[in-house]
């Protein structure tokens, strides 16, 4: 089976090579035939038929890759008819040799061997029919011709094997390159999702608090006649200032993870459960009553898991601030061997449709799933509950 070209350029190159080979063989055959014409005469019809057979045999070589066996048969028949007819004995057999080599190189080895055997039988038969002393090819030349054809077939088979090996190497290289590109795209997609999740959690929480606090300040300033309105508005604006500063610190920390290895590391502390009191205090500044309960012995968690637990609490408080209209929130941390459980309960109205929470719950679930854990978010009789289980390996 012929190896298919892989591009338009390769097809054009193969066509150019076929034309070049056909013209080169034609030049050799014509030159040899004109050389053999010295001192010899032919009848008009002998010359016409001989040159027609030369033209057919040489022209057929252009199609040797498209129809290798058919071209080999045509050149063999043209040679078989040419030599008994022509007195010039030009080297038309070269066209058959090229066609035979091409057939073997294109993977038609068995058919090429059969045609080579047929060619040798025709040569032997033609010499047997000659009158004694009139033979043109002696026994030694016949043996050399047979050895030459055999060597040609072996060479073509080796060329075919090498071409198939190179094609396999090329295909493997292309497959490896495609796999590498797919992995790079997957890694880039995962990194984009991770960055989007981090920015969503950091900015979403802080901006939600800022929105609540600034709305409260404007509401209080609008009631100029109420006593202490300016004082309470000032407190709200101070909370906005503190929350926005915290948001900038979180953003710098998150963007610092995108720095190159040779750049300075971010100086802001990485978020984790040790910063949970700050987070809860910011939530309290919006008017929420926030409580923290801890069960079991608190322990150091792997940094990625520690950050995931913090982000789950942060996003849950963001959702409470945005959607729940709650007054009370309880955050519960339960430590046990090999896992930490995080639960956030509020007394708000809950969520009749999970899609109302935007991408927050999906992001929290993805965080838990990344560590082999799970997250559930559901309505309860008293409000809404987010519960996450985050397993980890104990250090030994």
Q: What DSSP string describes 70-102?
A: HHHHHHHHHHHHHHHH-SS--STHHHHHHHHHH
pLDDT of residue 260: 47
Structure-token pair, residue 242: 């503190």
- What gap in Å lies between CA 332 and CA 10, rounded to an integer? 68
Backbone angles phi, psi at 22, to 5 degrees: -60, -40
- What gap in Å lies between CA 17 and CA 26, rounded to an integer? 14
Note whether 90 and 32 are within 8 A (CB). yes
Q: Give yes or no for residue 140 having a pLDDT over 90.
A: no
- What gap in Å lies between CA 291 and CA 85, rounded to an integer? 111
Q: Give yes or no for residue 133 having a pLDDT over 70.
A: no
Q: For residue range 28-72, list pLDDT tens digits in order.
A: 888 887 887 777 777 788 778 888 888 888 888 888 888 888 888
> Does the global pTM surpass 0.75?
no
**Who has greater pLDDT, 291 or 214?**
291
- What gap in Å lies between CA 233 and CA 250, rounded to an integer? 25
What end-to-end distance do the CA atoms of the chain give, in Å? 61
Q: Of the candidates 319, 317, 312, 327, which has an alpha carbon nearest to the alpha carbon of residue 351?
A: 319
> Which strand (E) or helix (H) includes residue 295?
strand 289-295
CA 110 distance to own-chain centroid: 39
Note whether 91 and 33 are within 8 A (CB). yes
Q: Give yes or no for residue 262 having a pLDDT over 60.
A: no
pLDDT of residue 266: 46
Residues 135-142: contacts with CB within 8 Å, 24+ apart?
136/89
Q: Give yes or no for residue 257 having a pLDDT over 70.
A: no
Structure-token pair, residue 68: 């290798």
pLDDT of residue 222: 62
Half-sphere exposure of 6 (CA within 13 A, CB side): 4
pLDDT of residue 232: 65
Q: For residue range 78-120, list pLDDT tens digits in order.
A: 888 887 777 777 788 888 888 888 888 887 888 888 888 888 8
pLDDT of residue 320: 86
Q: Give yes or no for residue 350 having a pLDDT over 70.
A: no
Query: What's the burial of 223, exposed, middle or buried (CB within 10 Å: 0-12/13-18/19+)?
Result: exposed
Highest mean pLDDT among 68-72, 200-204, 347-351: 68-72
- What gap in Å lies between CA 98 and CA 75, rounded to an integer? 9
pLDDT of residue 376: 92
Q: How is residue 294 annotated by DSSP?
A: E
Q: For residue range 211-251, list pLDDT tens digits in order.
A: 666 666 666 666 654 555 566 666 666 777 677 767 666 66
- What gap in Å lies between CA 3 and CA 14, rounded to an integer? 12
Share of the chain above pLDDT 90, in %: 11
pLDDT class of 290 with cuts at 50, 70, 90: very high
Note whether 329 and 386 are within 8 A (CB). no
Note whether 384 and 354 are within 8 A (CB). no
Residue that has been written with the tokens 């252009």 in this structure: 62
Note whether 354 and 376 are within 8 A (CB). no
* Contacts for 337 with CB less than 8 Å, ≥ 6 apart: 394
- What gap in Å lies between CA 157 and CA 164, rounded to an integer? 11
Per-chain mean pLDDT for the chain: 77
């Amino acid at each position: 089976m012929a190896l298919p070209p892989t591009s338009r350029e390769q097809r054009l190159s193969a066509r150019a090579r076929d034309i070049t080979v056909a013209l080169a063989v034609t030049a050799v055959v014509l030159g040899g035939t004109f050389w053999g014409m010295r001192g010899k005469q032919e009848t008009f019809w002998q010359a016409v038929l001989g040159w027609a057979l030369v033209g057919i045999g040489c022209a057929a070589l252009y199609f040797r890759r498209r129809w290798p066996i058919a071209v080999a048969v045509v050149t063999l028949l043209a040679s078989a008819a040419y030599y008994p007819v022509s007195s010039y004995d030009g080297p038309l057999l070269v066209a058959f040799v090229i066609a035979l080599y091409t057939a073997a190189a294109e993977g038609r080895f068995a058919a090429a061997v059969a045609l080579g055997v047929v060619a040798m039988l025709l040569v032997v038969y033609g010499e047997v029919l000659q009158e004694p002393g009139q033979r043109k090819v002696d026994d030694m030349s016949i043996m050399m011709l047979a050895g030459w054809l055999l060597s040609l077939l072996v060479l073509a088979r080796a060329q075919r094997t090498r071409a198939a090996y190179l094609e396999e190497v090329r295909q493997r290289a292309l497959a490896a390159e495609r796999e590498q590109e797919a992995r790079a795209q997957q890694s880039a997609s995962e990194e984009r999702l991770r960055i989007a999740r981090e920015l969503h959690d950091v900015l979403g929480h802080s901006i939600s608090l800022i929105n609540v606090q600034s709305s409260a300040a404007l509401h209080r300033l609008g009631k100029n006649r109420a006593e202490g309105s300016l004082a309470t508005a000032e407190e709200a604006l101070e909370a906005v200032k503190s929350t926005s500063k915290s948001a900038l610190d979180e953003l710098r920390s998150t963007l610092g993870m995108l720095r190159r290895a040779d750049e300075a590391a971010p100086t802001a502390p990485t978020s984790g459960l040790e910063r949970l009191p700050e987070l809860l205090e910011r939530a309290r500044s919006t008017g929420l009553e926030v409580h923290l309960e801890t069960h079991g012995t608190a322990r150091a968690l792997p940094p990625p898991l520690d950050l995931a637990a913090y982000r789950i609490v942060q996003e849950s408080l963001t959702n409470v601030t945005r959607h729940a209209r709650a007054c009370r929130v309880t955050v519960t941390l339960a430590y046990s061997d090999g896992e930490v459980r995080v639960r956030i309960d509020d007394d708000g109205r809950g969520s009749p449709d999970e899609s109302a929470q935007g991408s927050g719950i999906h992001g929290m679930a993805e965080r838990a799933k990344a560590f082999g854990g799970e997250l559930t978010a559901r309505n309860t009789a008293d409000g809404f509950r987010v519960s996450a289980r985050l397993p980890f390996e104990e250090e030994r």
